[in-house]
Structure 1
Amino acid sequence: MPTTLAAQLAALELGHFSIASDPGARPLARPEPEAIDQTLAAVWSDLFALFTDTILEDQAEELGWGFVNLFHRAAAKASTRIDRATDEIRLLLATNDGSEVHTAELEQQVERAQAAEGEMLALEALRETAAALYLAETGSSWKPAGGSRLSHDAVSTSAVVQGREFLKARAEGKRRAAMPEGTPVIFAGGRLSFGSADDAKAYGDAIWRTLDRVRANVADMVLVHGGDGKGADRLAASWAERHKIPQIAFSLDTRLGARAGFRRNEQMLGLKPRYVVAFAGNGVLERLVIQAKERGIAVVDRRGPLGTNPKHHARTSGEAVAA
Structure 2
Amino acid sequence: MPTTLAAQLAALELGHLSISADASTACRNPLQPDAIDQTLAAVWSDLFGLFTDTVLEDQAEELGWGVVNLFHRAAAKASIRIDRATDEIRLLLATNDGSEIHTTELEQQVERAQVAEDEMLALEALRETAAALYLAETGSSWRPAGGSRLSHDALTTSAVVQGREFLKARAEGKRRAAMPQGTPIVFAGGRLSFTSTDDAKTYGDAIWQTLDRVRANVGDMVLVHGGDGKGADRLAASWAERHKVPQIAFSLDTRLGARAGFKRNEQMLDLKPRYVVAFAGNGVLERLVIQAKERGLSVVDRRGPLGTNPKQHARAQASGRP
Sort the TM-score into its range (normalised by shorter chain).
0.7 to 0.9
**Deviations 1:211-251, CA, capped at 9 Å, x for gaps:** 11111111122111111111211000111111121222122
Alpha-carbon deviation of 1:301? 0.5
Distance 2:115 2:258 in 1: 44
Structure 1 residues 260-318: Cα deviation after superposition (integer angstroms, max 9, x where no partner): 22222222222221111111112222222222222222110111111111111121122
Paired amino acid for 2:293: K
Secondary structure of 1:278's counterpart equals strand
Q: Percent identity?
A: 83
1:153-193 Cα distance to aligned partner (Å, 9 max, x none) = 438xxxxxxxxxxxxxxx99961222x22221111111112
Q: Match for residue 233 of structure 2?
A: 233
Q: 1:175 aligned to 2:165?
A: no
- Secondary structure of the residue that 2:248 maps to in structure 1? strand
Q: Secondary structure at the match of 1:175?
A: coil
SS at match of 1:200: helix
SS of the aligned residue for 2:154 comes to: coil
Aligned residues between the structures: 285
Deviations 1:93-150 (A, max 9, x none): 3433343333332222222112111111110110010011111111111111111111
Match of 2:311 in 1: 311
Gaps of 5+ in 2: 1-20, 156-171
Aligned partner of 2:104 in structure 1 is: 104
1:110 alignment partner AA: V
- Give the superposition deviation at 1:89: 2.3
Go from structure 1 to structure 2 and tell me whether the alpha carbon gap of 1:98 and 1:172 turns closer, same or farther (over 3 Å shift).
farther
Structure 2 partner of 1:139: 139
CA distance in 2, matches of 1:96, 1:260: 49
TM-score normalized by structure 2? 0.82
**Any idea what the Cα deviations from partners look like across 1:25-78, whole Å, max 9, x if unmatched?**
212232011110011001111111211222222221111111111111111111
- Pairwise CA RMSD of aligned residues? 2.3
Instruction: Spell out the pairing of 1:282-297 with structure 2 (5 A cutoff).
Output: 282-297=282-297
Aligned to 2:18: none
3-state SS in 2 of match to 1:184: strand
Q: TM-score, normalised by structure 1?
A: 0.82
Letter aligned with residue 244 of structure 2: K
Pair 1:70-2:82 in alignment: no
TM-superposed deviation, 1:198 = 1.8
8 Å contact from structure 1 (residues 189, 233) kept in 2: yes
2:229 matched to 1:223? Answer: no
